[in-house]
Amino acid sequence: MTLIKSISGIRGTIGGQVGENLTPIDAVKFAAAYGTWLKQHREKENYRVVVGRDARISGKMIQNLVMNTLVGMGIHVIDVGLSTTPTVEVAVPMEHADGGIILTASHNPKQWNALKLLNEKGEFLDAVEGAKILDIAESNRMNFADVDSLGKITKNKAYIDLHIIEVLDLPLVTVKPIEEARFRVVVDGVNSTGGIAIPLLLERLGVDVIKLYCEPNGHFPHNPEPLKEHLTDLSAAVKKHKADFGIVVDPDVDRLAFMDENGEMFGEEYTLVACADYVLSRTPGNTVSNMSSTRALRDVTEKHGGTYEASAVGEVNVVKLMKKNKVVIGGEGNGGIIYPESHYGRDALVGIALFLSLLADKNISVSELRKTYPNYFMSKKKIELTPGLDVDGILKEMEDRYKNEQLTTIDGVKIDFPESWVHLRKSNTEPIIRIYTEAKSQEEADNLADKFIGEIGIIAKG
């Protein structure tokens, strides 16, 4: 049980001690700190904040605490209710709001929740602004409104529909060819808000939708991280219904993975690769993903005559480099599609629409599409942090050990070998060290990860 404060927001488990978990007191404190920062940041008379949530069990409680804290600061709230992270991101500029808060712990299990904080563009705060909010929270420098200056809450449940309209209006989303292809798709909505938004989008595109776990009650039927080992039910449903493919999203719908017609994973890493292949074929340009993402994006980008660059992990870091390099598409290898033509945020709805456009254009099966891309295999492992473990010291030791290899140290330590790579870093969202590797076979990737886990263990023992 823990409370994690990072550029990814304020994240913790429900219940327990104040300051150690995401208790009601902590939710109020950090909402008030955000409201204080907003007033310092924007300096105007009236303030508006969009607030939405995923379907997790604690969501309604946390949302009410957050909204009424903002009301107590004299800030007006647009309550979009059950929503998706990208929907809230799209809603902020549509509402001409000053910011947004999404109540979601993304792929974390049901006992977790979080406050994800947005600026007036509907984009995540950078590390500098995030640090200001943490400082305000720790110092208790919050000032509340008097009784005549309290904010108001306005409900607006239209934004999932408005978001879908925005996606369908994108020039590269080919609505008519998708309708004519008459796809059949199984959707695993993990009993969260993807179960609302994804079927609605697909139905608008003429897709025959088979719903699996699309009841937004917050009782996740499996671990909500969209990885192969959690998706046996989706695999069975795709085969049973003879579907063209399967779709799975995480609880807040910013991560997207596909399953082919045989019930096999397309590969979460290849969601971005496929969408980028389609976008680059229509609008040549450059791409960005983070350092823990597959080399296949680099290969596909160069095939289309563009250049690829990797950022530090974290959506805000990816977006910053995307803007600097003026890229046409980017994102993260965890199934996060960021398409600037829409907005600068990971968006599964955009990813699905681009993927369907690609499939309709190529007129091939999902398994055949996968064979057209370079074949890399990734291993994603982790080490639980124990008290007293000197993570920075371990990473420095790794840097010294491999100083003769191609090293990148902007985010942990990444070591690029000719045929493989390994990335070691502290997680922003969990108390763990992540060990990501990629190689030409699954066995090589797993062996490389195990080798480094062993080395870390030896260093930790001193």
Crossing angle of the two packed helices 391-401 and 442-461, in degrees rounded to 10: 120
- Rounded (to 5) percent helix, strand, coil in the chain: 40, 25, 35
Nearest alpha-carbon partner for 422 in 449, 387, 386: 449
d(CA 51, CA 228): 32
Concatenate the DSSP letters of all residues of 311-340 into one string: E-SSHHHHHHHHHHHT-SEEEETTTEEEBT
- Distance CA(327)–CA(333), nearest Å, equals 16
Phi and psi dihedrals of 8, rounded to 5? Answer: -85, 0
Instruction: Give the helix/strand (H/E) hosting 282.
Output: helix 268-282
CA proximity to 98, closest of 49, 137, 36: 49
Element housing 309 (H / E)? strand 308-311
Burial of 176 (0-12, 13-18, 19+ CB in 10 A): exposed
Residue 417 near residue 405, CB atoms below 8 Å: yes
The phi and psi torsions of 186 (rounded to 5 degrees) equal -95, 130
Are 168 and 322 spatial neighbours (Cβ–Cβ below 8 Å)?
A: no
Quick check: is 379 catalytic?
A: no
Label residue 416 exposed, middle or buried (CB < 10 Å: 0-12, 13-18, 19+).
middle
User: DSSP label at 230?
Assistant: G
Q: Which of 58, 106, 235, 289 is catalytic?
A: 106
CB under 8 Å to 234, separation ≥6 — which residues? 186, 188, 212, 246, 248, 259, 263
Q: What is the DSSP string of 109-153?
A: -TTEEEEEEE-TTS-B--HHHHHHHHHHHHHT------GGG---E
Q: How many CA atoms lie within 13 A of 342 on its CB side?
A: 31
Q: Could you please report the per-residue DSSP string of 36-94? A: HHHHHHH--S--EEEEEE-S-TTHHHHHHHHHHHHHHTT-EEEEEEE--HHHHHHHHHH
Question: Which residues are part of the catalytic machinery?
Answer: 106
